[in-house]
Amino acid sequence: MITAERVDQVRETVAEWRREGLSVGLVPTMGALHEGHASLVRKAAEECDRVIASVFVNPTQFGRNEDLDSYPRDFERDCEILEREGCSMVFHPEVAEMYPEGFSTYVTPEGGMTGCLCGRSRPGHFRGVCTVVSKLFNITTPDRAYFGEKDAQQLAVIKRMVRDLNIPVTVCGCPTVREADGLAKSSRNKYLSPEERRDAAVLYEALQAGRRVIEAGGGHAKSADVLRAVRETLERLPSVRIDYVEVVDGESLSPVDMCGPGTLVAAAVFIGETRLIDNFTV
């Protein structure tokens, strides 16, 4: 596996692959890799001749009081996982390589897609996401790019960005990978104490309660009834602080009054100081 720290290294290698007629897949990550990331790399390796994974903790998507400095980092372990899963090259730039002195050009998504869900409590987050992802697309010029469905809003916003800016890449959403008790795998799970980790399973349990309401209605239900089921389950535990529970259209992220095929049910909670997100699509 090639390790590249500079943009020109990536471009030279990709150009060589292109001369050989090889397809390229990209898996953007912020490191601290887990089985969810590994599944993305495996899928990319199945569908593409060469796979690039980026490991870059992107400062522009963190808010003022968020965990940029404490975000978990273990590049050596990340590389072991990537190589094992079939990654061809890891792109691990310094901040100055991605944001050189005087950097002032950002990709800013506008409209309702970023004003709901995580965007409401994390202003500026998706500007950082879209800026870094568009840069990674320009640097690596992949045929396909792979993102986890756990970050459903991110996935929808990136798909819209690719459509709006005519970026020639296919964005692929991949299923959420979960622990035995249903908790979605996340780099931030490492922040949880043993007691908090036990309580964190309630997020998946709550979403399943919402899913059962929809199933009882034959695949359709009033959004208010689904929201009530999710919230009531979460509120049973005093350690849980709800950030949001929302029911939206899975593509536009606009609120809907009725749940049906294509509806996204999403929630974010704080367990102690750790913010966790999860969702399901009808």
Q: Pick the catalytic residue: 34, 37, 92, 220?
A: 37
3-state secondary structure of 195: helix
Instruction: Write phi, then psi, for 114 (nearest 5 degrees).
Output: -110, 0
Q: Which of 39, 29, 31, 30 is nearest to 184 (CA)?
A: 39
Q: How many Cβ atoms from other residues are within 10 Å of residue 212's Cβ?
A: 13
Beta-strand pair 240-249/263-271? antiparallel
Q: Which of 45, 49, 53, 7 is nearest to 24 (CA)?
A: 49
Check if 92 is active-site: no
C-beta separation of 78 from 42 below 8 A:
no
Helices 152-164, 125-140: crossing angle, 10 deg rounding: 60
C-beta separation of 97 from 4 below 8 A:
no
The residue assigned the tokens 């909670």 is: 269
Q: Work out whether the CA dihedral 144, 147, 149, 151 comes out positive or negative.
A: negative
C-beta separation of 76 from 37 below 8 A:
no
C-beta separation of 89 from 2 below 8 A:
yes
Please list the active-site residues: 37
